[in-house]
Amino acid sequence: MGIILWIIFGLIVGWLSTVVTKSKHGLIVDIILGIIGALVGGFIASFLGLPGITGFNIYSLIIAIIGAIILIWIGRLVG
């Protein structure tokens, strides 16, 4: 059941980050951005001394969205 929750979490995060940045991606890209964004956000939070992704909660959602937005921003700089 854990992988299904991560996919749902990734979908929510990916969709919210594309809404915030006004990007247009498909469902699969949203899920991938959300999951990788959670990893990036968790890494950045850990680096700053904050707890990383702690589960399926609002704090983790915010950290993951920040990570996904950073990924989209970097993608725009590179591409």
pLDDT tens digit sequence for 9-67: 888 888 888 888 887 777 787 778 878 888 888 888 889 998 877 878 888 888 888 98
Going by the DSSP 8-state scheme, the letter that residue 60 receives in this structure is H
Cα angle, residue 72 at apex, residues 71 and 77 outer, rounded to 5°: 95
Domain that holds residue 58: 2-78
CA separation for the pair 58, 79 (Å, rounded)? 31
Per-residue confidence (pLDDT) for residue 1, from 0 to 100:
45
Look up the pTM and report it: 0.79
- What is the three-state SS of 20-47? HHCCCCCHHHHHHHHHHHHHHHHHHHHH
Per-residue confidence (pLDDT) for residue 15, from 0 to 100:
85
Average pLDDT, integer, range 2-12: 79
Q: How many domains does the chain have?
A: 1
